[in-house]
Amino acid sequence: MTLRMYLHKPKQIFICQVDLGGNQPVYPQYAIAIKNISLGTIGILKEGMTLLLGTAPGKDDYGRIRFKHMSPDFPTNVIHVSRFSHGTNDGEGHLVENSYITILEEFRVWAKVPRMIGAVVYKDGEYWGNVNSKYPPPCANAGTGVAGTIGGNSKLSVTFYMGNSFKWDAGVGVAGGYMLPLTQWQWEIGDGTLTSGTLTSQSITVDFPAGFRYVYLKAWGETYPAPDAAVPNVHIQSVPVFARNPAADLSTTAFQIRSHTHTFVGQEITAEFYQPLLRTDYPDGAMMMLWDDAISYDPTQRYHMLFIGWHNVDAATITAEETSVLHSTTLTFLDVGRRLELLPGFSQVIEYNANPTTWSMTRFPTLFYYFWFILFWHSTAIDVTEFLRESPDIMTMEFAILGSERGNLYDQCQSIAEKVRPDHHFTCHHLGILHIVRDPMIQDYSARLDVELDNWTENDWTSISFPYLRPSRLYQIRTMAIISRKTYIIVNGKNELEIIACRVPGEAPGQGMELLEVNEGITLNQTQLNMTEGNRYARLNSRYGMFNITIPYSRINYLYDISRMQWVKLTISGSNITERELAATFNNKRGICHEMSIQYDYTDTGLVRTATFTWEMETWGMPAETEVLWPDVPTPATLEARANARI
């Protein structure tokens, strides 16, 4: 086993100077006039690249922002950037005549901060709602980053696939999730050589020489109507590719991983370094890729990749020992999901409208659109990774109006996901892929898929601990939810949402101490709501608490990933059955893992990895009892009819 790490040393591809024309700078600002281009050309710039403002080329002492595009009006001497106020932190800038602008070939996860002028909103500082809410950009899904060692031909072969890409199309209707596969796309492969397919093929295989580069997939969405028909409606995803040459190695093994956790949110890795990693070479926030060189490389897969993320914080230590003074620096890296947890999300609301004219309207009223809307218009997350369409519930459940409170971008997505019945989770794969997956513990028992990711028997685990909790914690759950639909019902001339309710275990409460009231949810119908709330009651009163399971890392299925929320079966049998358990209690029991923590033990004779999982045993319960909110008005249709007839 050889863990290799590539710390991205972003290349400076464009250098110029700030041209204030003798005027004082105005803040906030999203356009900067430039002059004296001393490196690169405008044509090589890509939206999302990191832009440094500084006193000299390569410096960021005047701030760090995101390049967007050249000005449509001044395409050679004005650049548009992420809108910034006066300052020198990330997302801020200090404009000084003749100071330097350096653009790096590098993509990060940034927040796209909306600009609000009264009721008028400009997304990402400058995009207005009329056209963009009618004709949203498509979603280019080009796969995840890859790193590996070149083969005998001095090349690294990589296969890319764009079949998960999609574009919005209102004509498809809700059955198709208002989405269609792309009809136009283009690969850009840098210094690679195609060995299979063309630059417009769905799947391509490319040979890369040693070094680092980005591969780009450009996707075209619906054409804008006149007068914007000539403006391309595109989205680009970048994919980092690093080909390691052992003879001139740009990767490192001179680190030790101090902590490594993976939850539904994503991964966090802390590694200690003992060699110079100057900030001028490896800028704050730069990308990192980690892979296991001992796992055989497959061009079509990414099994060997362990992590793709970005530097977040450092911690340095200096210690005086008897024989020397020793120092080291610990860097913490976060993947895309964890990055979203640190970025601001602003309150917003979207309402269905067949002919939208503002950002608060949409003609694609599905939950999946809402997730895409948060991610695309408020972050660069899906510019740097895949966002997959999986759960049919999410793609076809409609809303009349949906909003988010202020929070971080991850929580804005997760808070909506967990309001769906059955509950969903916004998760991040260890390769950085963003998923919205159904919680199998909450969904209807008969609809649960019997797909297992791993099966842990006595040959796999080395220790298990678990609590048994006979007393209930909850005596009742009372739930209300709105019925999924894109239109309101009209009551007394007013727009209303159809609300249903249920209670579990029924009108007679149980013996737990607490009442749980779940007042926000969206569901297809009463049957589904009753089913999910019954399962929720069973889960929250589960006899067995969370299991802590320790497993040698080599015993984990390499396909395993927490973000998929798929079953992991557990067996405890024979003499390992504990004192009060029946023999069959833990035979092939299904459950899901909530967290994986990997411990790295570096010894004189080798590295040993041990994984600890938090595992939850499967539960299911009796359906909840329907609660009639307005006993004399049993259905919305009747309610509406009576109201309209003034009964």
Partner 1 sequence: MSDYRAKTGINQTLVSLTRIPLQPTSPGVMATRRTIMSDGSILDQGLYVEWNYNVIEDAAQLLLVLTPLGLHTAKSAAVTIYTRDDLYGYQRYNGVAHRPPASWENYFARGVTIRIINLELST
432, 385 Cβ separation under 8 angstroms: yes
Q: How far is the CB of 134 from partner 1 (least distance, A)?
A: 58
For partner 1, the closer CB: 453 or 464: 464
The sign of the CA dihedral 338, 111, 128, 407 is positive
Q: How far is the CB of 603 from partner 1 (least distance, A)?
A: 5
For partner 1, the closer CB: 501 or 572: 572
Instruction: State which of residues 36, 76, 154, 462 lies at the interface with partner 1 (CB under 8 A).
Output: 462
Instruction: State which of residues 460, 595, 625, 640 lies at the interface with partner 1 (CB under 8 A).
Output: 460
Instruction: State which of residues 281, 405, 452, 458 lies at the interface with partner 1 (CB under 8 A).
Output: 458
Strand ranges (DSSP E) for 150-184? Answer: 156-161, 167-168, 179-180
Residues 267-306 that bind partner 1 (CB under 8 A): 294
Token pair in block for residue 397: 């459940």
Contact string (CB under 8 A) for partner 1, positions 208-247, x = contact: ----------------------------------------
Q: How far is the CB of 318 from partner 1 (least distance, A)?
A: 24
Q: How far is the CB of 2 from partner 1 (least distance, A)?
A: 7
For partner 1, the closer CB: 2 or 519: 2
The strand pair at 120-122 and 115-117 is best described as antiparallel
Side-chain half-sphere CA neighbours of 548 within 13 A: 8
Q: How far is the CB of 461 from partner 1 (least distance, A)?
A: 6
The strand pair at 255-263 and 267-273 is best described as antiparallel
For partner 1, the closer CB: 604 or 632: 604
Residue 457 binds partner 1 (CB under 8 A): yes
For partner 1, the closer CB: 88 or 610: 610
Q: How far is the CB of 315 from partner 1 (least distance, A)?
A: 27
Instruction: State which of residues 37, 78, 608, 622 lies at the interface with partner 1 (CB under 8 A).
Output: 608
Taking alpha carbons only, the member of 104, 18, 13, 107 closest to residue 54 is: 18
Token pair in block for residue 245: 């040459």
φ and ψ of 526, to 5 deg: -65, -40
Token pair in block for residue 581: 């358990």
Instruction: State which of residues 247, 324, 605, 646 lies at the interface with partner 1 (CB under 8 A).
Output: 605
For partner 1, the closer CB: 124 or 293: 293
Residue 583 binds partner 1 (CB under 8 A): no
Contact string (CB under 8 A) for partner 1, positions 543-582, x = contact: ---------x-xx----------------x---x------
Q: How far is the CB of 556 from partner 1 (least distance, A)?
A: 12
Q: How far is the CB of 91 from partner 1 (least distance, A)?
A: 43
Torsion angle of the four alpha carbons 335, 121, 130, 483, in this order, in degrees rounded to the nearest 10: 70
Q: Which stretch binds partner 1 (CB under 8 A): 57-65, 281-289, 321-329, 454-462?
A: 454-462
Burial of 52 (0-12, 13-18, 19+ CB in 10 A): buried
445, 436 Cβ separation under 8 angstroms: no
For partner 1, the closer CB: 70 or 464: 464
| Cα radius of gyration rounded to whole Å, the chain | 27
Residue 437: enclosing H or E segment and its boundaries?
A: strand 434-438
* Cα 402 to Cα 349: distance, rounded to the nearest angstrom: 6
* Cα 434 to Cα 343: distance, rounded to the nearest angstrom: 16
Q: How far is the CB of 305 from partner 1 (least distance, A)?
A: 20
CA distances 589 to 176, 412, 504, 585, 592, Å, are 36, 33, 25, 8, 10
For partner 1, the closer CB: 280 or 459: 459
482, 352 Cβ separation under 8 angstroms: no
Residue 588 binds partner 1 (CB under 8 A): no
For partner 1, the closer CB: 86 or 569: 569
Q: How far is the CB of 149 from partner 1 (least distance, A)?
A: 11
Q: Which stretch binds partner 1 (CB under 8 A): 115-123, 433-441, 561-569, 602-610?
A: 602-610
Burial of 604 (0-12, 13-18, 19+ CB in 10 A): exposed
* Cα 223 to Cα 228: distance, rounded to the nearest angstrom: 8
* Cα 101 to Cα 322: distance, rounded to the nearest angstrom: 47
Instruction: State which of residues 191, 281, 405, 601 lies at the interface with partner 1 (CB under 8 A).
Output: 601
* Cα 73 to Cα 89: distance, rounded to the nearest angstrom: 29
Token pair in block for residue 278: 């100057």
Instruction: State which of residues 24, 603, 645, 647 lies at the interface with partner 1 (CB under 8 A).
Output: 603
**Block residue for tokens 């608490």:** 545
* Cα 577 to Cα 77: distance, rounded to the nearest angstrom: 74
**Block residue for tokens 């060692």:** 149
Instruction: State which of residues 187, 461, 547, 567 lies at the interface with partner 1 (CB under 8 A).
Output: 461
For partner 1, the closer CB: 88 or 612: 612
Question: What are the CB-based long-range contacts (under 8 Å, 24+) for 599-602?
Answer: 600/256, 600/257, 600/258, 600/260, 602/256
Q: How far is the CB of 6 from partner 1 (least distance, A)?
A: 18
Instruction: State which of residues 321, 579, 604, 632 lies at the interface with partner 1 (CB under 8 A).
Output: 604
Taking alpha carbons only, the member of 543, 542, 613, 546 closest to residue 581 is: 543
Q: Which stretch binds partner 1 (CB under 8 A): 42-50, 112-120, 340-348, 597-605?
A: 597-605
Q: How far is the CB of 572 from partner 1 (least distance, A)?
A: 8
Count of residues that interact with partner 1, criterion CB under 8 A: 23
Q: Which amino acid is at 74?
A: F
Q: How far is the CB of 508 from partner 1 (least distance, A)?
A: 43
Residue 118 binds partner 1 (CB under 8 A): no
Side-chain half-sphere CA neighbours of 386 within 13 A: 21
Q: How far is the CB of 246 from partner 1 (least distance, A)?
A: 8
421, 414 Cβ separation under 8 angstroms: no
Q: How far is the CB of 337 from partner 1 (least distance, A)?
A: 30
**Helix, strand, or coil here: 175?**
helix
Q: Where do contacts with partner 1 occur on this chain (CB under 8 A)? A: 1-2, 294, 457-464, 552, 554-555, 572, 576, 601, 603-608
